[in-house]
Structure 1
Amino acid sequence: MADDLIIVGAGGFGRETVDVVEAINAAAAVPSWHLLGLVDDALTESNARRLRARGLRHLGSLEDLLALEARPRYVVGIGSPLVRRRIAERLDAAGFSAVTLTHPQATIGSEVTIGSGTVVCAGARVTTNIRLGKHVHLNPNATVGHDTVLGDFVSMNPASSVSGDCVVEDEVLIGVGGVVLNQLTVGAAAVIGGSACVVRDVPPGAVMVGVPARPMEVNL
């Protein structure tokens, strides 16, 4: 019997996560997941239309989910690492448990461990001897090289790439097409801008842009 599942977040990545769930079910002899619907505190009218067009239910707010007597499995489909952490911590404390979702068209190599709550989209490539933490998002066509560790709540946006022997600490966001070269460390909560190329270690909380990537200047 398929397990009940709720996705938190009805924006772009939340609906991409629906695609992952549907692909997993389609590839299995017996469906793995019964998607009850999506939870979103601030559902826009455009996203509401998109849900209706796909026959997906909006189940209300996070508070509505927490008020349920039942405890379905969950995954957070929200791109912001910090927001994702806050939601996951609330749900875990209330007795919910996160699932791991890997699209059948992703490539997962040998000696790979994947934490709970992680979503791996179609076309993602994870090679060998890699550890993905909890609630990691690998968007379509993201690549993680050998012997690399991604911490908890990391987001790799489409076509981004982390090379071999890297450490990407908790809550890092790597933008579309961003690149981290070999044997580097990206500190916690750093942001790598779209198409940026990281060539040296990144301190925690830094925002890196350009090629080669440099700290973004803020004009006050």
Structure 2
Amino acid sequence: MSEPLVIIGAGGFGRETADVVEAINRSEPEPRWILLGVADDSPSDQNLEQLAAREIAYLGTTEELIARPDRPRYVVGIGFPQARRALAVGLDEAGFRAATLVHPEASIGSQCTVGQGTVVLAGARLTTNIRLGRHVHLNPNVTVGHDTVLEDFVSMNPASSVSGDCVVQSAAIIGVAAVVLNRLTVGAGALVGGNACVTKDVPAGATVKGVPAR
């Protein structure tokens, strides 16, 4: 049975999330999701034009969404973890439930768990015994190695890799094409810059870049 769904965020990742919804629906005998539209507190004119070109409705602000009598499932398509957390908390408190979206062209191995609200885009590769928390974003062509934990609100940007036996703590960002070597911890709220190679633990809240990352 199809379920109604709303995407929060009209920007790039929100529209990529709509691609995931469409791909999931194409892959199944009956559509799993009915995409009602997108809510966004401050969409740009360009984003609104791009939604209109795809015939995806703009539903107004998150306050307007919460004021509706119905409670469709939701997913937050906003890349910045702190904004994603604030929106998810508000929607949960208002009685909404998060959906989990995995593109059919992503690869999820054995004994992996995926938390509510997580979005996995095409080409992502997860091997085995991996745990993804709530509202994690995995962009195209990321790799997550065995026995790794990505905590709530983590973002892995395109083509980044986290090796086996790692922990990426809450709301950390792994930048485009960055690499985290095995048995390391990336602290909560840390930022690993694009193309960086992490060779030692990253403290909470730190920004590191370069090869090796400092």
- Give the TM-score normalised by structure 1: 0.97
Aligned residue number for residue 37 of structure 2: 37
Mapped to 2, the partners of 1:32 and 1:56 lie a distance apart of: 17
Is 2:178 aligned against 1:209? no
Identity of aligned residues (%): 65
Counterpart in the other structure of 1:217: none
- Aligned partners of 2:129 and 2:48: how far apart in 1? 41
Confirm or deny that 1:161 pairs with 2:149. no
1:197 is displaced (CA, Å) by 0.6
Q: Does 1:115 align with 2:123?
A: no
Q: For residues 170 and 187 of structure 2, what CA distance do their matches in structure 1 show?
A: 8
- State how 1:6-25 maps to structure 2 within 5 Å: 6-25=6-25
Structure 1 unpaired stretches of 5+ = 215-220
**2:141 maps to which residue?**
141
- Matches of residues 48-197 of structure 1 in structure 2 within 5 Å? 48-197=48-197
Q: Distance in 2 between matches of 1:2 and 1:175?
A: 35
Letter in 2 for 1:8: I
Q: Specify the SS of the correspondent of 2:211.
A: coil
- Map Cα deviations across residues 4-58 of structure 1 (whole Å, 9 max, x no partner): 0000001000000000000000000010000000001111111111011101110
Amino acid at match of 1:98: A
Cα distance in 1 for partners of 2:141, 2:10 equals 21
Question: What SS is found at the alignment partner of 1:75?
Answer: strand
Q: Runs of 5+ in structure 2 lacking a partner? A: none
User: In structure 1, the residue corresponding to 2:176 is in which secondary structure?
Assistant: coil
Between Structure 1 and Structure 2, how many residues are aligned? 214
Shift of 1:168: 0.4
Give the drift of 1:61.
Answer: 0.3
SS for the counterpart of 2:128 is: coil
Q: Secondary structure at the match of 2:85?
A: helix
CA distance in 2 between counterparts of 1:24 and 1:90 reads 27
Structure 1: which amino acid aligns with 2:17? T
After superposition, give the CA deviation of every residue in 1:55-99 in whole Å (9 maximum; x if it has no partner).
Answer: 111000010011111100000000000000000000001100001
Aligned CA RMSD, in angstroms, stands at: 0.5
What is aligned with 2:198?
198
Q: Distance in 1 between matches of 2:54 and 2:175?
A: 28
| TM-score in terms of structure 2 length | 0.99
